[in-house]
Structure 1
């Protein structure tokens, strides 16, 4: 398990009413929504990703998550992000979800994205603006 200091980018998050399941805690599928939000917010804010008109888009080819502590609504969270590996057209993002103020994560996960041409859906080399943004949060 990693700690807060192992991550490079943080994003405030808030649990939503719809995140809770019948067992009274945030359902596992909601964590993947948090992860996707953290990655895309970072790339958009870093001017690397244009979700509407960009030539390059990321497709998820692998995900995983480990859960350490339950979350529930209403709760303030922090999402954390770092880049573990940058390939020619792929990136491994590592993420964590922290209860606001906690030093240990409630969950840790990863996404592997392959970046492809929006039209052909074929892999393309990462554009320079992506590499700059990714290297800024590389572990």
Structure 2
């Protein structure tokens, strides 16, 4: 039994590259860098799908929960692939599940999740997910 996902569990992939600044004093990618990768994967998808306008959109996502499990170390320089699927879509919230793979590997180096609550940009109050979000996110729902 695996204690992690595999590539086949994900619907969207994004090539990534470790950066010099990602390494810590111990010679591997520091845990905080993974959350930057996760944020990049989610936002790249939403922007590319036409759901998120980071400059002028009325709706923004706020992170209310995160988690990450680490399986193997990464370091600079290394080519990676970020992976994404959507585990749950609520009225105003979404649970994104993500993984970071060394390019070509089937088992992730790390996997994690983000829960975003989507709010009005001005009031910061939760709003129902706009149709563009529901359409884009529906393409990534896990079966």
Any residues of structure 2 matched to 1:13-28 within 5 Å, and which?
Answer: 13-28=16-31
Partner of 2:116: 113
Partner of 2:60: 57
1:128 CA displacement: 0.2
Partner of 1:71: 74
- The counterpart of 2:90, out of the listed 55, 72, 87, is 87
Where 1:130 maps in the other structure, the secondary structure is helix
Measured in 2, the distance between the counterparts of 1:51 and 1:81 equals 20
Measured in 2, the distance between the counterparts of 1:110 and 1:92 equals 7
Measured in 1, the distance between the counterparts of 2:72 and 2:7 equals 15
1:83 CA displacement: 0.1
1:47 CA displacement: 0.1
1:6 CA displacement: 0.4
TM-score of the pair, normalised by structure 1: 1.00
Where 2:137 maps in the other structure, the secondary structure is helix
Measured in 2, the distance between the counterparts of 1:93 and 1:72 equals 25
Measured in 2, the distance between the counterparts of 1:31 and 1:46 equals 23
Measured in 1, the distance between the counterparts of 2:103 and 2:16 equals 9
C-alpha RMSD over aligned residues: 0.2
- The counterpart of 2:33, out of the listed 7, 18, 30, is 30
1:16 CA displacement: 0.1
- The counterpart of 2:51, out of the listed 44, 48, 51, is 48
Q: Kindly report structure 1 stretches of 4+ aligned residues shifted beyond 6 Å.
A: none
